Amino acid sequence: MSEIFLDTETTGLSYKDGHKIVEIACIETKDLIPTNNVFHKLINPRRNVPEAAFKVHGFSEEFLSDKETFDKISDEFLNFIKGKKLIIHNANFDLEFLNGELGSIKKNLIDKEVVIDSLEIARNKFPGTSNSLDALCKRFNIDLSRRSKHNAMLDCELLREVYINLLDAKEPKFDLSSIEQDLIKSNNGEKDYNKKILQISKVEIKEHEDFLKSELKKNFY
């Protein structure tokens, strides 16, 4: 099944207080492996961006003024996430904004049944400690050097790494055990990684020399 790692940036802490979304990012994965299919939009909130919010994500009202509004990108967004599991850190926050924006333009709301909240998983696994995305990255030794400010796309990438660690899953690796077993069987129970040396006949050498001469003549003369 496909998953979507999703994150938003906003003008404030609550949609009910009149705040709006300024950035949406989604990364699609298949069994937690990125498919290179992403959705990323900066959004004109049609309101001011408070100083506190600007310090978090760095998007000013002036910078966002020429970006599309949420109603213009909503269909593309809904089509991107349709039929996929959504993995969000602190999902209640993002869903309040997303469903608030969707409801205001009479679009279908996101059903909580398709959402996995990685914050809830982290709280169950590490009770009594900080389980912010930053804290979890530090816990799992995930590189935060690129994260000078909050950025929805980067946060999605970090969230995928955190989520894999929360599940105690590992990045898929090539299974070489079957190849090794074949080597053992073919060498009377002993591993033999030496390459076989093939003897080239005089006829083959002559054919190769003739081929090189014809190619050199064709390409350089």
3-state helix, strand, coil in the chain (%, to 5): 45, 15, 40
Q: Is residue 106 part of a domain?
A: yes
Domain end position, chosen among 126, 142, 166: 166
Counted domains in the chain? 2
- Per residue in 132-188, pLDDT (tens digit) is 999 999 999 999 988 777 889 999 999 999 999 999 855 544 444 444 455 445 455
Structural domain span for residue 186:
177-220
What is the Cα–Cα distance from 151 to 107, expressed in whole angstroms? Answer: 26
- Per residue in 62-103, pLDDT (tens digit) is 999 999 999 999 999 999 999 999 999 999 999 999 999 999
Task: Tell me what pLDDT residue 170 has.
Answer: 53
pTM: 0.75
Torsion over CA: 180, 186, 189, 190 (sign): negative
204: helix, coil or strand? Answer: helix
- Per residue in 13-29, pLDDT (tens digit) is 999 999 999 999 999 99
Q: Is residue 101 part of a domain?
A: yes
What is the Cα–Cα distance from 66 to 2, expressed in whole angstroms? Answer: 33
Residues 62, 26 share a domain: yes
The answer on pLDDT for 204 being more than 70 is no
59: helix, coil or strand? Answer: coil
Tell me the average pLDDT across 6-18. Answer: 97
Residues 182, 154 share a domain: no
Asked if residues 98 and 8 have their Cβ atoms less than 8 Å apart, the reply is yes
The catalytic site residues sit at 150
Q: Is residue 153 part of a domain?
A: yes
Residues 76, 41 share a domain: yes
**Confidence class of residue 215 from pLDDT cuts 50, 70 and 90?**
very low
Higher pLDDT: 30 or 205? It is 30
Domain end position, chosen among 166, 189, 210: 166
**In 102-143, at which residue ranges do the beta strands (DSSP E only) sit?**
115-117
Q: Is residue 184 part of a domain?
A: yes
Residues 196, 117 share a domain: no
Residues 121, 194 share a domain: no
Asked if residues 156 and 25 have their Cβ atoms less than 8 Å apart, the reply is yes
Tell me the average pLDDT across 38-58. Answer: 97
Residues 190, 133 share a domain: no
Could you identify the residue written with the tokens 């033999």? 192
Closest CA to 32 of 175, 168, 177: 168
Residues 85, 49 share a domain: yes
Residues 123, 57 share a domain: yes
Q: Is residue 171 part of a domain?
A: no
- CATH number reported for the structural domain that contains residue 69 in this entry: 3.30.420.10
Give strand pairing partners of 204.
Answer: none
